[in-house]
Chains A and B, each alone.
Chain A
Amino acid sequence: MDANTLAWIILLLPLMVAASILLGLKRMPGLSALLSTGSAVITLVCSVMLFSVTGAVKAFPWIDLAGFRVNIGLLVGEDDTLAKGMMFIVTFIGSLVHIFSLGYMKDDEGKARYFAGLSIFMFSMTGIVLADNLVMMFIFWELVGVSSYILIGHWYQKNTAADAAKKAFLTNRIGDFGFMIGILLVWVLTGSISFEGIKAAGPVASTMLDIAVICIFCGAIGKSAQVPLHVWLPDAMEGPTPVSALIHAATMVAAGVFMLARVSFLIEIADVAAQVIMWVGAVTALLAALMALQQNDIKRILAYSTLSQLGYMVMAQGIVGGSDAGMFHLYTHAFFKALLFLGSGAVIYACHHEQDIWKMGGLRKKMPITFWTFAIGTAALIAVPGTSGFFSKEGILHAAHEAHHTGPWVIGLIVAFLTPFYMTRLFIVAFLGKTRTENADHAKEVPPIMFVPLGILAVLALISAYGPIAHFLQARGEAHMPHLDATFWISLVGLIGGVGLAIHFYRGRDSDPIRIPLFENKFYIDEIYIGLVRIFQDAVATAVAAFDRYILDPLVARFPAMTAFSAGSILRFFQVGNLQGYAFLFGAGVVALIWFLLL
């Protein structure tokens, strides 16, 4: 098969599956689940084959009008390692999550709907990866938003889930507002919306370009949950845990990073925008790590850690020469974070939907496979030398150091200390010590359909940075002898210090000995936003609506109308409201009109 066929199969197969579930298979949840999983595996096979084939992909015009042309075109050129690597990650994690879900969602009453949602997601996400122009990317950008909305709100009868889904979509819309402006400005500057066309137009540095790139970056701020639009991601944990693994950890939230890598040639020119991107990433990495310190919900801890790691990746996109390192971290992070989320899913499943780590404990003996795979995932996340996470994180910090961005570099090192601390805390409290509740007491190891994906991901979390896998992904950046420089030594000290301190504070504890309300309450950002929305949206909306109804309407409509009719009894005559009255009015109108025209 050639690249054309493969690319179109990858894109359209999940869409067809989703459509057929929606149109008829909904009543057969088992079949729906199998079809959806099957399609994910097929797209995985296709995306592996995609690495070795060449050839052009046919594009279809979607809108073609007066010099404005939007293609549904797929970009998988020979040297397009970015799309191929990302595609592998999406379909690979996607397949494992589908398989894991077969177990996790076995008895859910909305199983067919769930798998349809996953398939819509796979379709939308591959569309982002394959898009050859900004508008097409935006189209699928919105569609992943909708699949995320559907899946976060899967248990729609829960208020928290329904609210979280809405919040996620709306927060992303704010980012997309900027994204669209950015696309329009790029079009204004270069007369093109396709990546190749923009590159060919040879854009030069200008204030407008800086603004355009910052606006485009707004899209990534929303989708990749960067400060200040990060608030939706922790709430998104209301969705089923496999969804959190796939969409809200490994792939969709990384789409912002991917998109920045796609336009890295613009970021290189736009200095100011690059600075903004780098600092937003760094600040997110730090704030999210601080918030993670004081959370008690296992999924929320992981969610904040995802925010923090995404901050690293985004920061890298703003550093000259850092884009590749950021993408490499995206790959390794996808493996170990999907592993950690699925692991937490296994724990939640085993503990009868208990998510509070203080109500777990002692799971090491109860679920050994989950325990060991989770341990490996944790090791990769906290960057134990030799694991995949170590090399990719090292790459980013190294790039920051090389480019003399001292501020972000220092922040990166602080985060490299905070991450081991909060992850060790999670690990000790949830898995070690004694069981603290009945639910944890009754926990037992999950079935093979769930632990096999964990095993596969654990292996990759360890080795994905090494030659064969890294080469396969055509990632630029792979395992190497660490430079024994300041970055290495300081982060090693941070790692040992973080783990050591966490052991010191949390070993054998039944409750949290540290209380930092500011971190626990996430810097009160949610509360501030709720207040802002109340004032600037709801209050203003109410005021405007009242103005419209009680001032504008009487002034523009009722007053003139009433004045005209208050002249006499005409009003009373017409208010009779009988048919003759209306007919008379109509007749009179027509006669007047004809008389007027024929005069």
Chain B
Amino acid sequence: MSILEIIVFLPILAALAIGFGAPARFTALGAAGINLICGLVAAGTAKFTDIEVGGFSFVHESSRPLLDDPELALAFGLDGISLVLLILTVIVTLAAVWVSPAEIKIKGSTKLYYTSSLLISAGALGAFLSTDLFFLYAFHELALIPTFLMIGVFGFGENRKRTAWTITIYLGVGSLILLAGLIALFLNLGGNTFDLATLYETASNDVNIPAETQSWIYLLLLVGFGILVSLFPFHSWAPDAYADAPTPIAMLHSGVLKKFGIYGLIRIATPMLPAGAEKWANLVLVLLLGNIIILGLATIAQKRLDRMLGYSSVMHMGYVFLGVVAGTTIGMSGAVLLMFAHGVSIALLFALAGSLRDRFGSLEFEKLGSGLGKTVPKLGLLFGFAAFASIGLPGFANFASEVMVFFGAFQPMEKGDSLGFLQWAAIISLWGVVISAVYMLRAYRNIFKGPLASPEPRAADLTWGERIPVLLLIVALMLIGFVPEILLKYLRPALESLTLIGGGG
């Protein structure tokens, strides 16, 4: 059994064990902890020395063939991109299963909380690590089910049933469109294998899919992946879903699972359909500005912290798209690194929001009152870290990756050249940096600063047990923020080979 198989199946086994009566919290924490270690080991032992031009440099490959025609295998592999997402997933998973005992006590279903979290984690890991197109899709579907379930059954808010059904239908439709696109792609690339490496080879060498076919397949994939990742205007499921979701589910979905959409674009759509990507680049630029500017403004107007965080999470996806569209090595690296930074920081914010809700019963700004920094100073301090991380303060991974995304959109140029649409879009999207500072600092100020209401609210500050998962996330953000090279060294070979296929700069 390869280490990657362990990583994918351990959470599933742990979930089953919990189902059969194993102590839930202990088992879940154990599995998540072992997975974190396995993830780090997999990263540490990965050697990306030979860049295979025209393909990904997967290491730690394992393959169990299931079918011969079409060639189908339960196959896992690791390259720089999936490695970053692997690390993201195992970190956020541990924090998510750790974070919520108080909330579970209120909701009263230990088993379901932990099994769902573990299954979401397993689904995300399977999707990120699969080198087989079929399983890449199937694992993501697997992760969606517990998400719907948890929101519908244990969600917050009066409309949680409706929210659950909205996202079930919405993401279901998204998945179907995506499926249609993937099948079209599969058939156009010969229709005889699901193996990604072979598919790349086919895409870059033998069969050149005609530009027009590329164009409509890419559009299907763009809409499908776009819905999953809440690309404007397909985002409206997200704020409600995150606001209503139980804390660990919000953390896992917004932090990890949602990244599947971008991952799919980078992994499948862009390299296999370069002409399609080029054709729709300007459309994506317009849409990502919708994410950053329009939804950024909508974020400012939110009156509840959880909805605000939901919107902000959607907004920041715009920057990831910007890096992907830029297509340069710097931009793509920035996009992948930003997936990590965003995933960790949004999970962090949802975790702290959950702690606030446990203590004060509501996340409406008006009901929360102000000056809580006095009541719960440690929670306030950590929220401050999270807020500044998410608005891209240097020292956190978010800044490093955003800088790379922006520089990725610009190229040194000859005299007489002028800026293109990509550069203008990048300049406009920079304004989002101001917008996110506005809503984040407003929220921070409204909740934690200013005089306390009278009578003074009473609440216990974060305990050590509650602080550990939060600190884990903060340390991860600062480590990568100070030394981005930790992850960049894995991305360099992966993306250099990728941009070689895609023909990008």
Contacts and interface: CB of A to CB of B under 8 A. Distances in A.
Interface residues of A, number: 71
Interface string A153-168: 1001111001101100
Contacts of A157: 371, 373-374, 449-452
A312 to B, nearest CB: 29
Interface in A49-68: 61-66, 68
Contact of A68 (B148, B152, B164, B330): B330
B301 interface: yes
Contacts of B300: 537-538, 541, 545
Interface in A529-566: 537-538, 540-542, 544-546, 548-549, 552-553, 556-558, 560-561, 564-565
Nearest to A180: B430
A181 B373 CA distance: 35
A173 B434 contact: yes
A557 B237 contact: yes
A597 B415 CA distance: 53
Contacts of A598: 67
B134 interface: yes
A590 B301 CA distance: 40
Interface string A582-593: 100010011001
A142 B394 contact: yes
Contact of B413 (A143, A153, A188, A544): A188
B213 interface: no
B302 A545 contact: yes
Contacts of B9: none
Contacts of A63: 400, 403-404, 484-485, 488
Interface in A120-162: 135, 138-140, 142-143, 146, 153, 156-159, 162
Contacts of B234: 556-557
A174 interface: yes
A558 B301 CA distance: 22
A189 B419 CA distance: 11
A190 interface: yes
B166 A557 contact: yes
B190 to A, nearest CB: 15
Interface in B343-368: none
Nearest to A135: B403
A574 B165 contact: yes
A270 to B, nearest CB: 15
Interface string B372-414: 0110000000000000100001110001100110110011110
Contacts of A565: 169
A598 B413 CA distance: 50
Contacts of A597: 70, 134, 183
Interface stretch (B199-207, B252-260, B281-289, B291-299): B291-299
Nearest to A565: B169
A564 B485 contact: no
Given A146-B388, A537-B300, A564 B450 contact: no
Contacts of A546: 301
A406 interface: no
Contacts of B161: 575, 577
B298 A548 contact: yes
A542 B403 CA distance: 30
B403 A159 contact: no
A169 interface: yes
A239 to B, nearest CB: 14
Given A544-B301, A548-B295, A66 B330 contact: yes
Given A173-B434, A582-B148, A561 B333 contact: no
A62 B300 CA distance: 33
Contacts of A190: 412
Contacts of B388: 146
B278 interface: no
B410 A187 contact: yes
B434 A177 contact: yes
B407 A187 contact: yes
B438 interface: yes
Interface in A498-516: none
A414 interface: no
A166 B412 contact: no
A64 B451 CA distance: 46
Most chain A beta-carbon neighbours within 10 Å: one of B165, B294, B403: B403
Contacts of A590: 138, 141
A66 B452 CA distance: 51
Closest CB pairs A-B (n = 6): A191-B412, A162-B449, A545-B301, A553-B236, A66-B329, A541-B300
Given A184-B426, A188-B413, A586-B145, 11 more contacts: A65-B333, A146-B393, A156-B371, A156-B449, A166-B445, A170-B434, A177-B431, A541-B298, A548-B294, A556-B234, A557-B237
